[in-house]
Structure 1
């Protein structure tokens, strides 16, 4: 397997790279981080494609009138997008499992100090109500604990993490509104198309910001180890 730092081949039974001396755990941690990063990128592209496709439906609805509007045809055109959001949710769940494995490792390797115990890396996502506000705090805790930072850097980290989590919540909520909507009238159809575009945009931006957290935390911990 290639070394994450120098690229030299490391035999599986050897704990350190013979060329640069890097520990295999650094190689494994970077591999997990890269896998999460790529999956998040795929999530972002799927959501972005869904949003751009929905934007193309706005033009026919904008020029339609109450006399020419066909609810049945519009319903058939929008139905696949509900399935796409379901697929996005399943894909996000799969990505989330690998993300938790990466975050568990990152929490253990970060120097700290930590405001939350390591168990909250997992329980923070599955505990009702708590999972609405604790996950970004844990990510912030791990990120700022990976290296000593100036106050300005901490504020930047907090801004990225807060924006990421807000977009996650908005994206999930808007997707549920879109999936439960009706298009009996032209106004309803226009509204729910806009909701779908907003949901896709939020999900794409959330995935992109999450990619930033994975990239920077992985980089900081590899430099510190």
Structure 2
């Protein structure tokens, strides 16, 4: 198996790379981080493509008038984008499952002490109300604890995490509003298209910011000796 750090071939019976000395556990963790990073990139690409396509629909709607507007045709043109957001949600579920596995490892490997039990890295995402504020707090804690950061760098990490979480929540709300939108009138159709563009933009930005925290945490934790799992 090739080493994720230097590319040298590591025999299956050894735990360290003979060329750079990387531990197998570090190598495996980096491989999971790369997989999460790539999936998030694909999610961002799908969301961005949907937003650009919807944005192209906004132009003819701006030129339409109440006399030329066809509600049925517009509804048929917009309906497939609801399916696109459904497919995106399924992709996000797959990505989220791998992200939770990666985050479980990252939380256990980050220096402590931790404010919350490790189990919250999983349950914190599914418990109502708690999942609105705890996940980004845990991600920020793991990020800043994984490296030696000055105050300004900690604040920058906090901005990235906060931006990621706000865009995620806003994107989910806007996509739901888009799915339940109406095209009965020209004004409704314009508003619905704008909702879809905003939802796609928020989801694409959320995926990109999540890529940043996955990349940084993985880089920091694979750049040093990984502590034993707790």
TM-score normalised by length of structure 1 = 0.98
Cα distance between partner residues in 2 of 1:35 and 1:66: 49
1:66 alignment counterpart: 66
2:132 alignment counterpart: 132
Alignment of 1:54-203 (within 5 A): 54-203=54-203
Q: CA deviation at 1:28?
A: 0.1
2:215 alignment counterpart: 215
CA contact (8 A) 1:61 1:186 kept: yes
Q: CA deviation at 1:68?
A: 0.5
CA contact (8 A) 1:113 1:145 kept: no
Aligned length: 225
Q: Does 1:15 align with 2:15?
A: yes
CA RMSD of aligned residues (A): 0.7
Runs (4+) of structure 1 moved beyond 2 Å? none
Q: CA deviation at 1:148?
A: 2.5
2:25 alignment counterpart: 25
CA contact (8 A) 1:3 1:10 kept: yes
TM-score normalised by length of structure 2 = 0.96
1:52 alignment counterpart: 52
Structure 1 gaps of 5+ residues are none
